[in-house]
Amino acid sequence: MNFSKIRKDVAVVGAGMTIFARRLQETGKEMSWEAARMALDEAGLTLNDIDAVIMGSAPDAFDGVHKKGEYLLDGAGGTNKPYMRVYTGGGTAVFAPIAGWWHVASGMFKRVLVVCEEKMSSVQPHAQSAFAHIWDPILDRPLKPNLVWIFAMEMQRYMYKYNVRYEDIALVAVKNKRNAVGHPCAQLADPNITLEDVINSEPMALPVRRLDISPPSDGASAIVLVSEDVAYEHTDTPVWIDGVGWCLDTTMWTNRDLAFPKFLARAARMAYEMAGIKNPRKEIDFAEPYDPFDYKELQHLEGLLLAEPGEAAIMTREGKTQRDGEFPVCPSGGLLGVGNPIAATLGIKIGEVYWQLARKAGPRQVKKDVRTGVAQAWGDLMQFSAVIVMRRR
Amino acid sequence: MSKSQKFGPPLNPRGRRLEAKDLESITHVRAKVPVKYAWAAGTAMSRFLEELKNGRIIGRKCARCDRVLVPPRMFCERCFQPTTEWVYLPGTGVVETFSVSYIDTNANRIKEPILVGTVAFDGAPPHCGIMHYFGEVSPEELKIGMPVEPVWKPKEERVGSVLDIKYFRPRKK
């Protein structure tokens, strides 16, 4: 990759996020508008100032409408502007801002709005029946799979290969649901949750239990990205996107060792190289890895090269990944605590890293002085990861 | 341009949680979307399904990287070259990973758990295989690395589907 060709540095100058919950009253368009408006307000901008709009939203099957990009257009503020929708499953949350980044980094646009929305409650009786359509129709679907199976199988393989204890994995759920107490959008915050609660929660697809999983949710999030030329016109505290990376492994998921996400390590190396990071463990202060399941936080920390394989569980057990620990992980409360409206988790990942680095995270602000953070999301048929490194300068 | 942060999310998110009385005023339009499909299995997978009918597992070899691809495909996605040779596999393998599932495909709870996982086939590269059920084994006995073999449906009941294999069971010594 030739990073010297990148023309403009790109900063986040505003972010917005709706409450994550079962939002039966609002349409996806209305939620998109709420989030977009909040991000613009924080940046002190109006829609007229925006040159282009990126929309991120996961499967059309959730909404039962096609061309979901166009369906959500008006709510995202994309009318009569260069506009595109991107979609990489759960990875959309961090991939949509990467699409926004290249719009600005190319020098073509000065101010870009990135909006991510998900409304999972429309599909009846449960989002699970829409998830059924992601499996291979020839090999997998005749077995009548449930999406949780794939995570259970991956978790089992991860625990086996790296000798990870279930109890240490469950501690991630405890940490994140407690962290989410400080998050005004949170769906499943619980200040009193204990390790026993997670371990004794009902079995889903073992080793996965109820409290190991993030809840389906509705919501929207948005960020405003601007070029270095105008960043300080909008804020004293721009947060810079210094590295981006993304990568997919083969869709033949039964041909891979599921224990370690190599595609993520590739994406991370790309982002670190671009950000000039040589030793990620030393140079990155905190992380918002994608945590739709508790073991995913650990596996993703390892894929992000912030821990050796199997080591993230030990860091968790030792309390290092707590909000006031030496390496805070998911200070937002994560998907496990705040909720998992697929693409809209932009607000928990990129949004949180922005708010932390701009010191606007309120009760969730990490104790240590953080200057460099990394956000990551994961998706498609568990084969994709997107990574963004952000800095306060 | 104002540099003040008047609104300051995330402290003031928009939207609110539902209350009981809200439910009376929410309007929904209900619909079903009936769509039917005929998915092509493709050149390689058609042969794979045919061979399942014969009680055999077949893969496809890439002459360049020497991998036997199972499930088979007509090209190697790594070398980006056509695969060149059909290879029969013994059908045996080891448990690559598994789950003991107490939920069905629609997330309904079930009493008797489904034992499901992936099998890495003998004669294929490490970790290469398919997803399937496990049977004739208890949830407690099922382990990663356990040698397994396919249990086929009677020949006359096979239709050229992955379900022509009933499940994989621990291999008899």
Taking residues B23-48, what's their average pLDDT?
89
Asked if residue A166 belongs to a domain, the reply is no
Mean pLDDT for chain B overall? 90
A22–B100 C-beta distance less than 8 A = no
Range of the domain at A387: 3-124+215-391
Q: Residue A391: is its pLDDT beyond 50? A: yes
Q: What is the pLDDT of residue B15?
A: 76
B133 contacts in A (CB within 8 Å)?
Answer: 143
Confidence bin at B12 (pLDDT 50/70/90)? low
CB of A356 closer than 8 Å to CB of A284: no
Compare all CA atoms of chain A with the CA of B117 and give the residue at the minimum distance: A153
Within a domain: residue A33?
yes
Distance CA A152, CA A266 (A): 24
A-chain residue closest to B67, CA distance: A255
Give the pLDDT score at B3: 40
Query: Residue A184 and residue B13: Cβ atoms within 8 Å?
Result: yes
CB of A158 within 8 A of CB of A164? Answer: yes
Question: In chain B, where are the structural domains located?
Answer: 43-170
Residue-wise pLDDT tens digits, A264-286: 999 999 999 999 999 999 999 99
Beta strands B93-103; B109-121: pairing state: antiparallel
pLDDT per position as a tens digit, A335-369: 999 999 999 999 999 999 999 999 999 999 999 99
Question: Looking at the domain assignment, is residue A143 inside a domain?
Answer: no
Q: What is the CATH number of the domain that holds A16?
A: 3.40.47.10
Confidence at residue B5, expressed as pLDDT on a 0 to 100 scale: 40
Tally of domains within chain A: 1
Please check whether residue A131 lies inside any domain of the structure. Answer: no
**What's the whole-model pTM score?**
0.95
Residue A184 touches partner B, C-beta closer than 8 Å: yes
Q: Average of pLDDT values for A21-25?
A: 87
Secondary structure of A300-332 in HEC code, one letter for each residue: HHHHCCCCCCCHHHHHHHCCCCCCCCCCCECCC
Residue B162's pLDDT is 97
ipTM: 0.91
Backbone angle region of A359, left / alpha / beta, with phi > 0 → left and psi within -120 to 50 → alpha: left
pLDDT at B78 over 80: yes
pLDDT of A123-144, one tens digit each? 888 888 888 888 899 999 999 9
* HSE-up of residue B12 (Cα within 13 Å, Cβ side): 10
